[in-house]
Amino acid sequence: MTEAGVEQKLSSGTNAPSIKMKGEKVSVHYGEKRALFDVDLDVRENQVTALIGPSGCGKSTFLRCLNRMNDTIDIARVSGKITLDGEDVYDPKIDVVELRARVGMVFQKPNPFPKSIYENVAYGPRIHGLARSKSELDGIVESSLKKAGLFNEVKDRLLESGTGLSGGQQQRLCIARAIAVSPEVILMDEPCSALDPIATARVEELIDELRQNYTIVIVTHSMQQAARVSQRTAMFHLGYLVEEGATDKMFTNPDDKRTQDYITGRFG
């Protein structure tokens, strides 16, 4: 157990879940500009961790570090250490493809591929070679869609284009697409920001259900959403991690003045 773990145990007082991912002194530079300052944050297994904070505070940047999506940005430079099950994900020995298979991602704007619903979900298992037969692939697609709570809505039109679905359905399709790869961690970057309230509620429900099997990190703009879906919350401001702790404590009795101000709507 690390110090953070011990501290966590003390503060929550219950049998804390083990730590799945861990960031130590994570800093990110975009060219000359520094976007993240020495962030230490743990992600606990089978819990939802919410990252909150005003725009441009670095929460999405941190999220994208967890599965090295920042690699796709030429000017981004990451320092510090991030581990997945104790392995440094920025270790040159670690393969980024394998990492992303284990740490899936759902994006802000639903981005289904311009393919059929079936093909969207089957894409991940196909490229990773997870299914040995057509029937096994069918099984993965069906169970993923079911877990994403989408199966009943689309079961009759699996071969229609994924871009034809409504926004909320598209986002759940993207979640199903991520689940189909059997990741261990799912990262969600403001998954509901482009959705209407009803679709948002549906996705939030889904996130809560998914917690049984996956570790989830979610970036959100909405404090209510963080309060509703997460067990733990981390507050970012201007690239610094301000405060981190159990969600109920954060929303009732935060340690930091800035957190207090933010959740009460004084800024952000």
Partner 1 sequence: MVGYLVVLLLVLAAAAYWIGRTRAIASVNGDVARLHSLPGQHGMFLALFAAGPALLAILLWSLVTPGIESSIIADRFSSELSGMGIPQVEAFIRDARAMAFGGLVGFADPTKEAAAAVYKSVHTTSTWIIWAVALVLSASGFYWAYSRIAQAYRARHVVERVLRAFLIACSVVAILTTIGIVLSLIFESLRFFQQVPFYKFLFGTHWSPQSAFTGAGAEAGAVNQDIFGMVPLFAGTLLITLIAMLVAAPIGLMAAIYLSDYASKSVRAVAKPVLEILAGIPTVVYGFFAALTVAPYFRGIGESLGLNVASESALAAGVVMGIMIIPFVSSLSDDVINAVPQSLRDGSAGLGATKSETIRKVVLPAALPGIVSAMLLAVSRAIGETMIVVMAAGLAANLTANPLEAVTTVTVQIVTLLVGDQEFDSAKTLAAFALGLVLFCITLTLNIVALRVVQKYREQYD
Partner 2 sequence: MTDAISSFGAVGRPVSIHTDGAAKARLKGRYRTETWFKWLGAGAVALAGLFLVLLLSTIVTQAIPALRQNYLTLPIDLSAAKVDPAKLDEVNYDAIAQEALAARFPDVTSRQDRRLLRGLISTGTGVFLRKDIAADPGMLGGTVDYAVPVDDFADLYLKGLLADVGSDEAISTSVTPSKTSGDIDLTFGDDAMLALARGRGATEGENGMLTLTSGASSLLVVFNGGTVKLTALWPGPSGTAVAKGTVIEALDSTAPAASGQAFLRVIDTPEASRKISDKEIVWLDTLKSAGQIESRFNSIFFFTGASREPELAGVWGAVVGSFLTMIVTLAIAFPIGVSAAIYLEEFAPKNRLTTIIEVNINNLAAVPSIVFGLLGLAVFLNFFGMPRSAPVVGGMVLALMTLPIIIIASRASLRAVPPSIREAALGIGASKAQTVFHHVLPLAMPGIMTGTILGMAHALGETAPLLMIGMVAFIVDIPGGFTDPATILPVQIFMWADFPEAGFQQKTSAAILILLLFLVIMNAIAVILRRRFERRW
The C-alpha atoms of residue 49 and residue 218 are separated, in whole angstroms, by 6
x-or-dash string of contact with partner 2, 45-64, rule CB under 8 A: x-------------------
DSSP label at residue 256: S
Amino acid (one-letter) located at 83: T
Q: Which does 141 bind (CB under 5 to 8 A by kind): partner 2, partner 1, none?
A: none
Q: Fill in the per-residue mask, 165 to 194: x = in contact with partner 2 (CB under 8 A), - = not in contact.
A: --------------x-xx-x----------
Please name the helix (run of DSSP H) or strand (run of DSSP E) that holds residue 43, with its range, or none.
Answer: strand 33-44
Q: Which two tokens stand for residue 98?
A: 């394998």
Q: Name which of 239, 268, 242 is nearest 257 in CA terms.
A: 242
Where in 83-142 is the site for partner 1 (CB under 8 A)? Answer: 97-102, 104-107, 109, 111-115, 123-124, 127-128
Choosing among partner 1, partner 2, none, which partner's interface includes residue 88 (Cβ < 5 to 8 Å by kind)? none
Q: Segment contacting partner 2 (CB under 8 A): 92-100, 194-202, 249-257, 260-268?
A: 92-100
Per-residue binding string, partner 1, 205-244, x by CB under 8 A, is ----------------------------------------
3-state secondary structure of 250: helix
Q: Measured from the CB of residue 200, what is the shortest distance to partner 1 in angstroms?
A: 19
User: Of 265, 197, 236, 266, nearest to 50 (Cα)?
Assistant: 236
**Binding to partner 2 by residue 142, rule CB under 8 A?**
no
Interaction partner, residue 151 (partner 2, partner 1, none; CB < 5-8 Å by kind): none
The amino acid occupying position 41 is: L
Helices then strands, each counted (H, E), the chain: 11, 10
Residue 129 in contact with partner 2, rule: CB under 8 A? yes
Question: In the range 1-30, which residues lie near partner 2 by CB under 8 A?
Answer: 18-20
CA–CA distances in Å: residue 102 to residues 94, 223, 259 = 12, 28, 32
Structure tokens at 215: 């570790």
Q: Which one of 140-148, 174-182, 210-218, 238-246 is the stretch in contact with partner 1 (CB under 8 A)?
A: 174-182
